Amino acid sequence: MIFYPNLYCKNVMAITIDVLQKNNIKGLILDVDNTLIDIDRNMDPGVKDWICELKNNNIKLCIVSNSNKIDKVKKVSETLDIPYFYFAKKPFKSGFLKAKDLMKLECENIAAVGDQIMTDVMGANRCKMFSILVEPISEKDIFITKIKRPIEKLIINKYLSKLKKEKV
């Protein structure tokens, strides 16, 4: 199902080395807005530690953001010392594939992480990458995202009830 993530997490810090190794993931593509920072551009201090841990375990990293605000994306990139692509037009494949080329990995060894189904999850699934959906950091969203949230909530609820059924 193109709308369903392979994994659903509370936040990026819940994505452990263990989870990545189990799924043969060697690189992560990271969304910015509401995944790494909130709408006021604040980053949880735990994110930096999480990134360090990933780097220490040789997980490759690349930011792919749909934002056209280069100063914002660049600042996150510099804070975490990760390369970036901005204005990426997810769910189109091009941004994901640029990151793939940069990381020199195969799609099956890459996980893409983000808070939106219509852009992050769909794009990752289209590229046959491992898709990880995280809960948005804050409730506040830019206008266009706000419109999409109710639809996303419906899909997430369906997805969670499917997971529940599978466990029974």
- Cα-to-chain-centroid distance, residue 53: 17
Angle among Cα 11, 68, 120 to the nearest 5 degrees reads 35
Instruction: Take residue 78 and report the two structure tokens written for it.
Output: 């510099």
Q: Tokens 């709308």 label which residue?
A: 3
Q: Which residue, 5, 16, 110, is CA-closest to 57?
A: 16
> Residue from 34, 77, 125, 131 that binds Mg ion (CB under 5 A)?
34
Please check whether residue 116 is in contact with residue 31, taking contact to mean a CB–CB distance below 8 angstroms.
yes
> Residue from 4, 30, 31, 64 that binds Mg ion (CB under 5 A)?
31
Instruction: Take residue 8 and report the two structure tokens written for it.
Output: 């659903």
- Residue 152 touches Mg ion, criterion: CB under 5 A: no
Shortest Å distance, C-beta 136 to Mg ion: 7
Shortest Å distance, C-beta 167 to Mg ion: 28
Task: Candidates 11-19, 24-32, 56-64, 92-100: pick the segment binding Mg ion (CB under 5 A).
Answer: 24-32
Q: Which is nearer to Mg ion, 34 or 131 (CB)?
A: 34
Shortest Å distance, C-beta 47 to Mg ion: 14
Chain residues that interact with Mg ion, rule: CB under 5 A: 31, 33-35, 115
